[in-house]
Chain A
Amino acid sequence: MTPALAAIGSVITGAVLALFTIIGGVSAISPDANAPAKSEAVVIYDAP
């Protein structure tokens, strides 16, 4: 294994991880998690 190949491997791995992080992390951000709906008269247990 040459250093060049190792570097390429590292870059590819990093890119894949970054892709996952961006997709997952951005969609995970929920500024108002579990917030009550306006129409909620009774607290619904499985409210989003």
Chain B
Amino acid sequence: MTSRRWDVPSPRVVVPVVVAVVQALLVLGPALGGGVAVTHDMAWSPDPRWTPFVLGLDTPAPRAVPSDAVVVLLGKVVGASLAQHLVLLTILVGLALGTCALLDELLPRVGVAGLVAAAVAAVWNPFVSERLAVGQWAVVLGLAALPWGMRAALRVVRHGTSPYAVAPALVCAAVGGGNSLLLVGGTVLAVLVSGAVVVRSRRVLAAAGAAVVMCLGLAAAWALPALTASPVADTAGVRAFAPVADGPLGVVVSLLGGGGFWNTGAHPEPRAQVLIALTSALLATAGVAAAVVVGWRGRGRPGVLLAVPVVVCWALLLLSLGGPAEGVWEAVVTRLPGGGLLRDSQKLLAVWVVLAATGLGVLTDRAVRLVPAGLVGPVLGLLVGLPLVLSPQLVWGIGGRLDAVTVPDDYRAGLSEVSTLPPGDVGLLPWSQYRRYAWNDSRVSLTLAPRMVDRVVLFDDSLPLRSGTVAGESPRAAAVSERIRDGVAPVQALAVEGVRYVAAELGGAQDVDTQALRASGRVVVDRPSLLVVDTGSTTGPGVPEATEPSGAVLVGWGVTLLTALLLVARRAAPEIARKLPTGLLRSRP
């Protein structure tokens, strides 16, 4: 008889894992209740459906690809609510543990105190707060995959591991779409290229080439349609998406502290305090310096390799702040193919945030080893507790921003009925993509309809901001908007575009002329929260392109899925080959 002996896990493993899980529960809190959390960009459908929007079939720049399709797949397996809980928890836990793993790579004998400090600082910072507050879970996913990608790239350079070591981080980042893949892919590439120079290795250079190929393959699902459609970027968006100060000490200090998100509505209140803004900037700067310095020497000079992406990210950030280089930045964002990905430049700060947390772990580890025994407790409390008190708004759902709600059955049933109607595009009113659903405590959010109706849904994809409106990318939507501005009624403006059904979401903050809508055709769905009218219109200039997936979409999806499958198989194959013979020998006939 064979017995399996389980080793007692080391406190270096157990404590960070416990801290990572507990703090993720503390941050998400109310978002983990029954229902789904719906806020700003996180329009999480309670009914997982592969709609044309989810698959990127009806939009020139499919930003929700492939993230929405992946969560729909997960939602079909475990349900939408549990899928959201799992995704958000995994992101925050993965972010904390990834930072610990990166710290362990930089400082192999780091103690529990350092690991805990790094795990806490990775999550409790303005970057996570500001992005989660507007529901940009895909960007936080990129942040979470980043330390794993950095660690894997360092190991390729320093220990000669396989070029495919970076694949898991790239695949995870690719799930989040363009923004997250840019963060991880760009950083991995910077580390590998600089590593090839530092260690003068063609093997590492080849690994960098392999990483480029992996990124291109994983990006194809959204990149190919976007590049072939060439959507025109509004130059107003360049200024609107530039980093701004989230505290009294200016934009650079805000960025140094991990904040500076362009959306002022997401800025944490505590950062208005000089003490908090200054302390978080100093703490993060000290952390990054510590991470770079501790790795400055040693095999492969990891400090140098990690400093390279930091310098690149800051160069781009400073360029995006305007001033004399404003024209250059505008040209990069609006004219360079794929430059639009850089428009919201503050996200590039992710590498700074990860290194700051890693470095705080270094500082904590050094501090508890150097101070007298009697001061270990207070010093540890200070260094671990500081990130918490600098971003207290994160606790329990970011001041009410993240809270699971029940989407009314009436609304869900109405949108399901629309999916079963005879073929035809759906135009969405009110003519704006943002809502303040009464059942969602009037939080700002994207409309759920394009993610819930299995039809091409035409909606106004422009972005209304306090500073003005940033134009969208859909030519059909732009044509409708222009007609409405010229005084044409929304229903007629939509009908010209060949929209057969006009669906009005009711009960929100915005009014819809339901009387005119009812008079415009045959009412096919009539519910308190949804009114849908069949206008009978089936012809229009945008219909042929919009209702069928283009070749670029099909090829893009095919390339991305194939790349992901090959990478997973490539990573899994050695493990299976190693374990399978052992398993066969152990198994009894």
Contact = CB atoms under 8 A, between A and B. Distances in A.
Interface in A6-46: 6, 9-10, 12-14, 16-17, 20-21, 23-25, 27-30, 33-36, 40-46
B315 interface: no
Contact of A36 (B264, B389, B465, B509): B509
B393 interface: yes
Interface stretch (B110-118, B431-439, B514-522, B533-541): B431-439
B275 A17 contact: no
A29 to B, nearest CB: 7
A24 to B, nearest CB: 4
Given A20-B389, A28-B268, A29-B399, A34 B444 contact: yes
Nearest to A28: B393
A28 B330 CA distance: 35
B198 interface: no
B235 to A, nearest CB: 18
Nearest to B267: A48
Given A42-B432, A43-B435, A45-B464, A24 B273 contact: yes
Given A1-B375, A9-B378, A36 B273 contact: no
B374 A2 contact: yes
Given A17-B389, A30-B400, A45 B465 contact: yes
A25 B390 CA distance: 9
Contacts of A1: 372-375
B393 A43 contact: no
Contacts of B276: 20, 23-24
A45 B510 CA distance: 14
B443 interface: yes
A10 B381 CA distance: 9
A46 to B, nearest CB: 4
B389 to A, nearest CB: 4
A36 B445 CA distance: 12
Given A9-B375, A21-B392, A35-B442, A46 B263 contact: yes
Nearest to A4: B374
Nearest to B398: A33
B385 A44 contact: no
Contacts of A17: 381-382, 385-386, 389
A29 B443 CA distance: 16
A33 B399 CA distance: 7
Interface residues of B, number: 48
A23 B464 CA distance: 33
B578 interface: no
Instruction: Choose among B263, B375, B401 the residue with the greatest number of A CB atoms under 10 Å from its CB.
Output: B375
B206 interface: no
A20 B375 contact: no
Nearest to A32: B400
B7 to A, nearest CB: 35
A45 B378 contact: no
Contacts of B377: 6, 10
B417 interface: no
B440 to A, nearest CB: 10
A45 B392 contact: no
Contacts of B390: 20, 24
Nearest to A20: B389
B562 interface: no
Contacts of A6: 372, 374-375, 377-378
A41 B385 CA distance: 43
Instruction: Choose among A9, A24, A47 the residue with the greatest number of B CB atoms under 10 Å from its CB.
Output: A24
Contacts of A36: 436, 442, 509
Contacts of A9: 374-375, 378
Contact of B272 (A25, A27, A43): A27
Interface in B254-305: 263-266, 268-270, 272-273, 275-276, 279
A47 B265 contact: yes
B386 A20 contact: yes
Contacts of B421: none
Nearest to B469: A42
B270 A42 contact: no
A20 B373 CA distance: 25
Interface of B: 39-40, 263-266, 268-270, 272-273, 275-276, 279, 372-375, 377-379, 381-382, 385-386, 389-393, 399-401, 430, 432, 434-436, 442-444, 463-466, 508-510
20 contacts: A3-B374, A5-B375, A10-B377, A17-B382, A20-B279, A20-B386, A24-B276, A24-B389, A24-B392, A27-B273, A30-B399, A34-B401, A40-B509, A43-B432, A43-B434, A43-B436, A44-B434, A44-B444, A45-B40, A46-B266
Given A14-B381, A24-B270, A44-B466, 4 more contacts: A13-B381, A24-B389, A43-B509, A46-B465
Nearest 4 CB-CB pairs, A to B? A6-B374, A1-B374, A20-B389, A1-B372
